[in-house]
C-alpha cells in the first residue's frame, strides 16, 4: 500500500488534480508531483533559516541568559530583547537602531537638513552642492571661523553632507557603529562623544587646511569608531580585541574610500585619534555601573543641547552664515581664493576701513569712527585715544620706504619692549604691504 502524505504536506484541491489530465497525468500522479515540489520548497526554506530559529529560545545579548523565543524582555537582567527581524539581520552582520535611539535621531537630522537644503537650492543636492549652499547652512570655512568668530561652523558642518552618496555612506556607518556604542557607553555618553569628536575633527581640519571648505559627519563617526576601538583595546578580552580589530578595519575602509572620493583625511584622522583617547579613558570595569550616573547624565544633556542647537543653526542659518556664503556666489567652483589672496584682501579691506575711520575722527565724529577701529584692531579703544592712533597710522605710512630699506629697528622707538615692537611690526605689515 502506498505511503500517505506527511502531516506537513498541504491538501491538494480537486481542481488541481483534475488539471493534471491536460498534461497526461492521472490525479494520483499529479498529487505526488505537487507534493514533491512542496517538500523541496520546505527544505530550501530550512536551509535559509538562521539556526537559532529552529529552537524555541533566544540568547540575551546583554547577559547571555537563555530566553523564550517569543520573549521581549530578559527575565535575568531586564534588558529589552531583540525582535525576530533584528535577530535575523544580526545573523547577516547588520544591526538596526531603534526608532528613538540616538543613532536614529542623528540619522533623521541628517536627512531633514539635506532635504531642507534641496528645497532652497533647487537643482542641487543629488550629486553635490555649490560651495555657497554648504557655507550658507554652516559648512566649515576656516577664515569665517578664525577671522569672523563663526565658531558654530565647527559643529554645524558635521550635520551637512556633500551628496546623496555621502549621506548614504555615513548613515550606513552610523547604523552599524552607533547602536553598539549606545549599548556599551549609554545613549548619554554616545551623543556627547559624537558632538565632541565632531568638533575636534573639524577644528583640526580648519587648523591644518585653512583654505579648504568642508562638511560631513565622517569626522564624528570616525570619533565613535575610535572610542569603540579604544574601549576594546583596554578591555583586553577576546571580545574586546574583536571589537578593536573590527573598528580599526572600519577606519581603514573609511580612509580608503576617502582616497577614491577625495575626502577630508585630516578630519577623519583627528576624529579617530580623539575618539581613541576617549575610549581608553574609560575603565571597562566601571563603565556599566556608571551609565546612569550624574556625570553621564550631564554629558548627555550637554551633547543633546549642543546637537539640537547645531541642527537648528543648519536648518535656519543666521544672517552671518549667509553673508559668508554670498562671497562665493560669483566664484567659479575650484577657483576659491588662495591663502595669499585672502590675506591681501583682508589687508586691503582693513586699510580702507581704518582710513575711513580716521577721516571721521578728523571731522570730529569719534562715535562713528570708534566701532570701525575696534572691529579691525579687535580691541577696545577709548575715544580719547583716537587722535593719537590716527596720527600714528599717518606716521607709519610715511615711513614705509624707510622700514623696507633699513628694517624694523629703524622705525621702532629705542627701548621699546617686545609687546610694543610686535604691535608696531603688525601695523607696518598692514600699511606697507603692496596694495
pLDDT at residue 110 in the model: 93
Within the chain, which residue ranges are assigned CATH 1.20.1540.10?
102-326
Per-residue pLDDT at 233 exceeds 90: no
Angle of helix 187-208 versus helix 294-315 axis, rounded to 10: 50
* pLDDT tens profile 94-125: 444 444 678 888 989 999 999 999 998 888 87
The whole-number pLDDT of residue 111 equals 92
The average pLDDT across 200-228 equals 90
Question: pLDDT at position 155, please?
Answer: 94
For the segment 357-415, what is each residue's pLDDT rounded down to a tens digit? 888 888 888 888 888 877 777 667 788 888 888 888 888 888 888 877 878 778 888 77
Distance linking the first and last C-alpha atoms of the chain: 108
Q: For the chain, how many residues are written?
A: 435
* 17-40: average pLDDT: 75
**What is the rounded distance in angstroms from the CA atom of residue 282 to the CA atom of residue 230?**
9
Using the predicted structure, report yes or no on whether residue 186 has a pLDDT greater than 90. Answer: no
Strand partners, 73: 80
Residue of 95 and 421 predicted with greater confidence: 421
- The tens digit of pLDDT for each residue in 157-181 reads 999 998 888 888 888 888 878 887 8
Closest CA to 253 of 164, 373, 170, 133: 170
CA-to-CA dists, residue 311 to 108, 164, 305, 350, angstroms = 11, 18, 10, 34
Query: What is the pTM for the complete model shown?
Result: 0.57
pLDDT, residue 81, reads: 64
- Euclidean distance between CA atoms 227 and 221, whole angstroms: 10
Question: At residue 305, does pLDDT exceed 70?
Answer: yes
Decide: 174 and 103 in contact? Cβ < 8 Å.
yes
Mean pLDDT of the chain: 78
Q: Can you give the pLDDT at residue 302?
A: 94
- How is 178-195 classified by DSSP, letter by letter? HHHHHHHH-HHHHHHHHH
267, 226 Cβ separation under 8 angstroms: no
Q: Is 30 or 332 the better-scoring residue by pLDDT? A: 30
Is residue 80 helix, strand or coil?
Answer: strand
Nearest partner of 247 among 270, 284, 221, judged by Cα: 221
> How confident is the model over 137-155, as pLDDT tens digits?
999 989 889 988 899 999 9
Comparing C-alpha atoms, which of 160, 156, 164, 98 is closest to residue 126?
Answer: 164
- From residue 217, give the alpha-carbon distance in Å to each of 153, 202, 235, 253: 13, 10, 27, 16
Contact 275, 247 (CB under 8 A): no
* 102-326 under CATH 1.10.340.30, yes or no: no
Give the pLDDT score at 66.
Answer: 65
Residue 50 pLDDT greater than 50, yes or no: no
C-alpha cell at 391: 596720527
Per the listing, cell 547571555 goes with 64
Residue 11 CB: number of other CB atoms within 10 A?
6
Amino acid at each position: 500500500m502506498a505511503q500517505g502524505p506527511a502531516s506537513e504536506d498541504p491538501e491538494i484541491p480537486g481542481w488541481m488534480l483534475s488539471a493534471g489530465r491536460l498534461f497526461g497525468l492521472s490525479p494520483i500522479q499529479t498529487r505526488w508531483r505537487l507534493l514533491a515540489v512542496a517538500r523541496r520548497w520546505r527544505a530550501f526554506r530550512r536551509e535559509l533559516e538562521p539556526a537559532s530559529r529552529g529552537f524555541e529560545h533566544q540568547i540575551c545579548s546583554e547577559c547571555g541568559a537563555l530566553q523564550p523565543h517569543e520573549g521581549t524582555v530578559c527575565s535575568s537582567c531586564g534588558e529589552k530583547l531583540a525582535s525576530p527581524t533584528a535577530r535575523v539581520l544580526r545573523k547577516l552582520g547588520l544591526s538596526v537602531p531603534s526608532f528613538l535611539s540616538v543613532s536614529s535621531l542623528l540619522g533623521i537630522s541628517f536627512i531633514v537638513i539635506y532635504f531642507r537644503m534641496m528645497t532652497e537650492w533647487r537643482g542641487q543636492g543629488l550629486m553635490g552642492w555649490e560651495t555657497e549652499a554648504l557655507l550658507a547652512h554652516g559648512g566649515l570655512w576656516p577664515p569665517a571661523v578664525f577671522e569672523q568668530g563663526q565658531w558654530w561652523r565647527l559643529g554645524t558642518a558635521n550635520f551637512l553632507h556633500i551628496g546623496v552618496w555621502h549621506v548614504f555612506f555615513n548613515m550606513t556607518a552610523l547604523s552599524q557603529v552607533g547602536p553598539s556604542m549606545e549599548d556599551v557607553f549609554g545613549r548619554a555618553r554616545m551623543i556627547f562623544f559624537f558632538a565632541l569628536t565632531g568638533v575636534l575633527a573639524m577644528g583640526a581640519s580648519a587648523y591644518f587646511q585653512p583654505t579648504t571648505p568642508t562638511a560631513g559627519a565622517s569626522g564624528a563617526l570616525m570619533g565613535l569608531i575610535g572610542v569603540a576601538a579604544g574601549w576594546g583595546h583596554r578591555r583586553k578580552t577576546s571580545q574586546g580585541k574583536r571589537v578593536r580589530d573590527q573598528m580599526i578595519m572600519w577606519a581603514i575602509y573609511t580612509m580608503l574610500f576617502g582616497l577614491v572620493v577625495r575626502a577630508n583625511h585630516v578630519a577623519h584622522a583627528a576624529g579617530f585619534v580623539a575618539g581613541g583617547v576617549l575610549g581608553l579613558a574609560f575603565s571597562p570595569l566601571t563603565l556599566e555601573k556608571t551609565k546612569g550616573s550624574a556625570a553621564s547624565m550631564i554629558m548627555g544633556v550637554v551633547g543633546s543641547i549642543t546637537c539640537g542647537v547645531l541642527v537648528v543653526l543648519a536648518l535656519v542659518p543666521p544672517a552671518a552664515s549667509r553673508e559668508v556664503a554670498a562671497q562665493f556666489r560669483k566664484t567659479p567652483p575650484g577657483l576659491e581664493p588662495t591663502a595669499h589672496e585672502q590675506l591681501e584682501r583682508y589687508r586691503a579691506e582693513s586699510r580702507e576701513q581704518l582710513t575711513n575711520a580716521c577721516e571721521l575722527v578728523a571731522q570730529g565724529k569719534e562715535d562713528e569712527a570708534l566701532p570701525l577701529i575696534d572691529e579691525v584692531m579687535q580691541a577696545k579703544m577709548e575715544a580719547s585715544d583716537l587722535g593719537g592712533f590716527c596720527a600714528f597710522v599717518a606716521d607709519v605710512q610715511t615711513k614705509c620706504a624707510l622700514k623696507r630699506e633699513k628694517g624694523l629697528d629703524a622705525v621702532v622707538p629705542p627701548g621699546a619692549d617686545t609687546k610694543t615692537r610686535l604691535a608696531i611690526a603688525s601695523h607696518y605689515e598692514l600699511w606697507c604691504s603692496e596694495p
